[in-house]
Each structure stands twice: as structure tokens, then as C-alpha cells.
Amino acid sequence: MQLRTLHDEVHRQKDYPGANTCSFMAAALQAIDRLPESCLAPEKAQTLMGISRFHYLDGAVDQAIQTASDAIQAAILGGHRHLEGHARTRLGISLRGAYDFVGSISELVQALEIARDAGDATSEAKVLNSLGNTYSDAGLYEEALNIFERVAAFFQERNDTLSAWMALDNAALAALRLGDVQRGTALAQQAREAWSGEARTADEHLWVVQGAITNCQLLIKSDRAQEAVSCAHAAQAIAAASGLGAAESFATLAEAISTFATGESGSDAIERVIATARDCSPNMHWCALDAAVRVFEHSGQYDRALSLQKELLALCAAQKFEQVRRTWGRPSFEEGAGPAMLAQLGKAVDRKLTDLVNTAITQALRAGHDNARIFRVSRLAELFTTSQGWSSAHARSIGLAAKLIDIGMIVIPDDLLRKSRSLSEGERKVVAEHAKFGAEVLASAKLGLLEPCIPVVRSHHERWDGTGPRAWQESPYPLEPASLPSVTPSTQ
């Protein structure tokens, strides 16, 4: 009777967790450990599976794995074959969360065999959906898509709308990861049509929030960022009601990428999510990097996308490339496409920088200088910066800014730019605007490496005594690298 009561309370708190659920689950596990070995009741395995599921939902993957393993042993000792299948599914899902794809597939295949031996088609389809998730997380997206679409059709035929939605939502994510936005969008729409009910349990809350990340990315890639923000706001409310830290982390990611896409927030919000995710589960870290790379690339911030793509590939190389090659005899999608993505992003960054430098050279020529002037100014600025004790990285940044200080001259008419006599006060004001416009040009390039250059370009005609075009209010003028390019053109 006590075991039945414990079983019911574990599953209630697993579905509707509260502030004390973690401590309750720890106490429940201790109570299970104190049971005599002769206890072979099915509730023992079922209770362990409930504890394992809670730990998985809460992001404690190692605890989920251990408890699922205990559930398998309890089911085997009790002779409960069908419960063994459920426990192996539970373990397979948890191992996937730890990026143990080989172990995950081994457990899920055994669960499949148990379901097939019992003629349980519904359990077989649910295990197949979990197997599809393992394939998807391993980077085998085409195989995963085929599984998800088969599973979705099975559940739609049986009018199991929630299970059909799950499979279609998983399929939409696999299509997104393949880069097939049109197919992903169609699958996401089918998922919404299959089920649009209200999430009730913690499981359902987490599924909906994870699905929101997929939907937000598809909407952003389809240039519907405002709809993505609405989707993210809804996910935040669902996550808050879930009682799960993992759901709140995923909802924060959805919010960060969506508000960034609309310009409501900067890239720092996404960077904070990634920094937090590095200390969380591997799955959260991977999801955050994957989404950030996609959103930065779509927005044109190619250098940020490039940096995070390198981190993503390093994470994948450490966690799954070797496993996938050993298990399937071929590389995952990321291992095959990742280096090409790096090269593509690198070329995009180089192309933007080259276009800016060429524009700066053109403005120098218009002003009557030779085409090497901006490089001399750049080198002098680097040397001057280094002599003042700044780091080499800071010096390179200042050198880049010095190349581009006069890029804003593009707004000045030729006759005014080449005027031989003194400028009138009105003409001086027009010419002074080139610093402000140049900063706007750099900002519009959306490259993170140009951000330190923007204040340099904007301020390069300011004077230490505050008499520059912007009438600097501080006195004395702060000794910052922004002042260096105003020195170098006159000293070259």
C-alpha cells in the first residue's frame, strides 16, 4: 500500500513539479532503496521511471540515466517484460541527452523488439519517435525525417493528435537543421493543425517550449520576426507554468533570438544565453549554438556566426562525430556540411571587409590622395597604439578603424571635397557630417569586429580641448584609442 502511494505521488509531482519536487524525488529514491529485494511489484519499476523522467526534464541527465537503469533491473527481476521496454525507452532518451548515441540506440532497439514481440503498435511508434530524435541529434536528419513522418501518419490515423503533433514538430526541426526552411515551415504548420491544445503536464510544457524554438527560427528565416516574438512570448508563459528550469532556459533562448531578429534587443542577450548554456547540459549548449549561428547568419552578422560555428563544430567533434562514424559508417550532417559552412561564413566576412576597404580607398582617391594612404594611416595608428601600451588585439582593431575613418566621405559632393579655397562655416558643417555617416556605414555592416571601430570613426575629428565637430564636453579629452586616427593623418 505504501509503495502504491509513493508511486502515485512520484508521478503526480513529475507531471506537476513544484519548489520541493527535487528533494521529494531524492527522498522517494531512498525509500525505494530501502525496499526488500523480494519486492518485485511493478510499481517499483514504474516509480523509478517516474523519478528518472523528472530528472531528465529538470536537466539532471546523469541522475536520469542511473534511475532508468535501476528501473530496468527492477522490471527484469519482477518479470515485467512490458515495463522493461518502457524503462529501456526511458534510458535510451536519457542517454541521448548525454550524447551517448550508441547507448541510446542500443536501448531503443531493445525496446522496439519488446514492443513488436507484444504486438503493441502504439508503443512501437512511440519508441520509433524517440529513435528518430536520437538520429536527429546525431546529425542524421534525412533518416530522422523519414521516421518522424511515418510515426506522424500512424498517430494521425488513430486520432492521437498530441503524439502526431510531437512527431511533426520533431520533423520540422530536422528539416530546419537540414536547411530546408520551406519543408520545415510546412511541417510546423501540419503540427499546429494536428494539435493546438493546452499543455497540462511538465512533459507537455517542455515539448511545447522546445517546439517554439523551432517555430521561432523558421519564422525568422522566413522574415516573419515579429511573429517569432509573439511565439516566444507565449513560450515564456508556458515555461513559467511548467516548474522546469530546462523549459525556462529554452524559452529564454527563443526570446533572445526573436527579439534580436526584430532589433528589440542586441546580440548580447543571445551571448548571455550561450554563456549560461555552456554550464548546463550538452543538449542546451548545442541548441543555443545551433540557433544562434542560424540567426546571426540570417541577419548578416557573419563574424559572430563564424565564431559560434567554430564552437559548435568543436562541441560536435568532441561529443558525436566519432560515434556516428563508428555506428553508421559515415559522417553526420554537421561533420560533412560544417566545414563548408565555416568557409562560406569566412568568405562573407572577407567580402564585407573588402567592400568597405575598397570604398575607403575610393573616397581617398576622390579627395586627391593616393590609394595607399589609408594603409599608411592604419599602420601609424597601430604603431602609436602599441607604443601607448595597448594590446596587439586592440592595436589591430584601431588599425582597421584607421583604414575606414573617411569612408563617410561618400556623402560629400566632389566639388566640395576638392575645393581649393577655404570652406565656409556651412560647408565645414557638411564635411564634418562624414564622421557621423561613416559610423553609420560601419554599423550597417553588422559585423561584430567593426563595433570597436564605430566610436573611432565617429570621433576621429574630435579634439582634446572639446572644440571638435561634436563639441566634446569632457575636459580634458579622454586618452582613448579613438583619438589616435585624428593624429596619424597629420603626422604621416
Does residue 132 belong to any structural domain of this protein?
yes
Global pTM reads 0.82
What local confidence, expressed as pLDDT, does residue 336 receive?
A: 86
Residue 1's CB is within 10 A of a number of other CB atoms, namely 5
Does residue 430 belong to any structural domain of this protein?
yes
- pLDDT tens readout for residues 244-303: 888 999 999 999 999 999 999 989 999 999 999 988 777 889 999 999 999 999 999 999
Nearest CA to 84 out of 117, 54, 37, 122 is that of 117
Query: Which of 233-242, 361-370, 456-465 comes out lowest in average pLDDT?
Result: 456-465
- pLDDT band (50, 70, 90) for residue 219: very high
Nearest CA to 250 out of 260, 267, 270, 235 is that of 235
- pLDDT band (50, 70, 90) for residue 393: confident
- C-alpha 453/C-alpha 290 separation (Å) is 28
What local confidence, expressed as pLDDT, does residue 477 receive?
A: 39
Nearest CA to 228 out of 267, 185, 193, 190 is that of 185
Does residue 184 belong to any structural domain of this protein?
no
- pLDDT band (50, 70, 90) for residue 490: very low
What local confidence, expressed as pLDDT, does residue 480 receive?
A: 52
What local confidence, expressed as pLDDT, does residue 146 receive?
A: 96
What local confidence, expressed as pLDDT, does residue 320 receive?
A: 85
- pLDDT tens readout for residues 6-18: 999 999 999 999 9
Share of the chain above pLDDT 70, in %: 93
- What CATH number does residue 463 fall under? 1.10.3210.10
For the chain, the average pLDDT equals: 89
- What CATH number does residue 81 fall under? 1.25.40.10
For the cut 70, the answer to whether the pLDDT of residue 469 exceeds it is no
Average pLDDT for residues 334-359, to the nearest whole number? Answer: 90
Average pLDDT for residues 300-323, to the nearest whole number? Answer: 91
- C-alpha 404/C-alpha 360 separation (Å) is 6
Query: CA angle at residue 203 from 201 to 204, to 5 degrees?
Result: 70
For the cut 50, the answer to whether the pLDDT of residue 492 exceeds it is no
Does residue 352 belong to any structural domain of this protein?
yes
Residue numbers of the domain that contains 61:
1-138
For the cut 90, the answer to whether the pLDDT of residue 406 exceeds it is no
Does residue 358 belong to any structural domain of this protein?
yes
What local confidence, expressed as pLDDT, does residue 489 receive?
A: 52
For the cut 50, the answer to whether the pLDDT of residue 147 exceeds it is yes
Last residue of a domain, one of 71, 105, 138: 138
Query: Which of 80-89, 351-360, 433-442, 474-483 comes out lowest in average pLDDT?
Result: 474-483
Give the sign of the dihedral formed by CA 359, CA 444, CA 472, CA 474. Answer: negative
C-alpha cell of residue 4: 502504491
- C-alpha 154/C-alpha 43 separation (Å) is 30
| 351-363 residues labelled b (16+ CB within 10 A) or e (exposed) | ebbeebbebbbeb
Phi, psi dihedrals of residue 17, rounded to the nearest 5°: -65, 150
Last residue of a domain, one of 91, 108, 138: 138
Last residue of a domain, one of 75, 107, 138: 138
**Which residues make Cβ contacts (< 8 Å) with residue 58, sequence separation at least 6?**
17, 22, 244, 245, 246
Does residue 235 belong to any structural domain of this protein?
no
Does residue 21 belong to any structural domain of this protein?
yes
For the cut 50, the answer to whether the pLDDT of residue 225 exceeds it is yes
What local confidence, expressed as pLDDT, does residue 246 receive?
A: 87
What local confidence, expressed as pLDDT, does residue 471 receive?
A: 54
Structurally, the chain folds into a number of domains equal to 2
Does residue 129 belong to any structural domain of this protein?
yes
Phi, psi dihedrals of residue 413, rounded to the nearest 5°: -60, 150
- pLDDT band (50, 70, 90) for residue 475: very low
